Chain A
Amino acid sequence: MQLITCPWCGPREEVEFHYGGQAHLAYPDDPAALSDEEWAHFVFFRDNPKGPFAERWSHAAGCRRWFNAVRDTRTYEFLDVYPMGQSAPEVAS
């Protein structure tokens, strides 16, 4: 079990958190204009990198707020934690 730093509550144990998958996915600006293939990619297709990955987490058993994190999927180490709405930081992999 590792400590995850909630931007509002500070370091808490991993069991308090809920994973939300890839971060920075925006709903299409013009949904009616999307082809079936583009919809499929919006609904089903996500990045799956081996290395740093920007993703969403929620402090489900604490303040219950969502935030973003960059985490290394090889080591599971959190490289950065930042609020929703902020763009992904550059991190050393």
Chain B
Amino acid sequence: MTTPQPPGAHLPDHPDFLWRNPEPRRSYDVVIVGGGGHGLATAHYLARNHGITNVAVLERGWLAGGNMARNTTLIRSNYLWDASAAIYEHALKLWEGLEDDLGYPILFSQRGVLNLAHTEQDVRDSVRRVEANKLNGIDAEWLSPDEVAKVCPIVNVSGDIRYPVLGATYQPRAGIAKHDYVAWGFARRADEAGIDLIQDCEVTGFTVDGDRVTGLRTSRGDIGCGTVALCAAGHTSVLLDQLGVRAPLQSHPLQALVSELLEPVHPTIVMSNAVHVYVSQAHKGELVMGAGVDSYNGYGQRGAFHIIERQMAAAVELFPVFARAHLLRTWAGIVDVTPDASPIVGRTPYDNVYLNCGWGTGGFKATPGLGWCLADTIANGEPHPYVEPFGLDRFVTGALVDEHGAAAVAH
């Protein structure tokens, strides 16, 4: 029998400084706007896979202080459509080796995800998604309510609740990771490769010459660029407005919350699209919960209380054991939502500007996969095959990747 330890005792110590804090140089081959997970991962893979290190990552605030610090850290690849499955499964495979790649602990814990079904239509959709996942080589199973209770004993699978659990899809390889450590690991590796991570540097405009952007105006002076990659998540519209480019993005607050620390009670991840809550237990012991986005557009990094109230009602019905847990804190990230609930990655009307946005509520899980593919796109000047279906032009051609069903949260 192992000796009981206080929650968090197995966590690594806080690190020393992991990156320099350089002054921006006059120009770079590649400038990445946005120092969150996607920007940092892109920087890392530019150096690691392509040897491109004359790179700056510009961050308006502090590194990974936006959505990267505000998300619920779920990682899975059980998406319905082939295009989505490909990029998220690519990411999941990278997650599985990321700790070794970064030489840094990220506390990736493959504890599996249950996506609950509560209606006959949910059941049909879920079984279809399981079969689609299997065809794409993704681990997926359909579980009966009794099997759900074996995976996660605290889920209420009785038939007398308002929306009984009729079963669930299960992806055993899904998991969570420690979001800050993920960002720090990428930042450390990028910095070691000579990439400048420049914080407190807001992009206020662009210098344009014909079809090319030649420089960025920032709160820390003008910076010339060979290639620009926009990785600003919910604030991408603000940047695109400065470039005179429109994209079908709407920014919404997406709230999340944590309970006080509890003993280990919740061994997996449970998501429910129908009653609308998703829950995992963080390494330290907080229950981490999220629901859908607030309906209105917003940049305020907070949301309405009634959203939390509904989410709590759903959580307590599904998990009666949570009824006495105290809410510790709530927050919101600003997510950029697209009409087909899928990201926009690839070309813009400017030859040397690449777009990465529209991940909505699902950006964290894609972090290494997107970084890998966007770095490849920048290095080769052609969209990587995994991001090619997610071009901005799909809204004109009609080749949408309508992923509302598998996003698992209401967009």
Contact = CB atoms under 8 A, between A and B. Distances in A.
Given A18-B295, A19-B295, A37-B396, A74 B300 contact: yes
Contact of A36 (B299, B304, B396): B396
A35 B298 CA distance: 31
Contacts of B396: 36-37, 40
Given A48-B237, A48-B249, A1 B297 contact: no
Contact of A55 (B237, B249, B297, B305): B297
Interface of B: 235, 237-238, 241, 246-251, 295-300, 304-306, 336, 339, 395-397
Contacts of B250: 21, 46, 48
B113 to A, nearest CB: 30
6 contacts: A1-B306, A2-B304, A18-B295, A19-B296, A36-B397, A48-B237
Contacts of B248: 44-46
A71 B241 CA distance: 19
A73 B395 contact: no
B295 A73 contact: no
| Shortest beta-carbon contacts, A-B, top 5 | A48-B237, A19-B295, A44-B248, A40-B396, A40-B395
Contacts of A44: 248, 339, 395
A14 B297 CA distance: 14
Nearest to B296: A19
A63 interface: no
Contacts of A40: 395-396
Contacts of B235: 50
Contact of B299 (A1, A45, A50, A55): A50
Interface in A36-78: 36-37, 40-41, 43-46, 48-50, 53, 55, 71, 73-76
A38 to B, nearest CB: 9
B395 A76 contact: no
Interface residues of A, number: 25
A45 B297 contact: no
A73 B247 contact: no
Contacts of A37: 396
B341 to A, nearest CB: 12
A53 B304 contact: no
B300 A45 contact: no
B249 A76 contact: no
A44 B336 CA distance: 14
A2 B307 CA distance: 12
Contacts of A45: 246-248, 395
Q: Which of B250, B296, B300, B339 gathers the greatest number of chain A CB atoms within 10 Å?
A: B296
A14 B305 CA distance: 10
Interface in A1-53: 1-2, 14-15, 18-19, 21, 36-37, 40-41, 43-46, 48-50, 53
Contacts of A36: 396-397
B255 to A, nearest CB: 13
Contacts of A14: 304, 306
Given A15-B306, A40-B396, A46-B250, 7 more contacts: A1-B304, A14-B306, A43-B339, A55-B296, A55-B297, A73-B251, A76-B296
Contacts of A15: 306
Contacts of A2: 304
A52 to B, nearest CB: 11
A50 B247 contact: no
Nearest to B338: A44
A76 B304 CA distance: 10
Nearest to A77: B300
Contacts of B237: 48-50
Given A36-B396, A44-B339, A45-B247, A71 B296 contact: yes
Contacts of A43: 339
A39 B298 CA distance: 26
A22 to B, nearest CB: 9
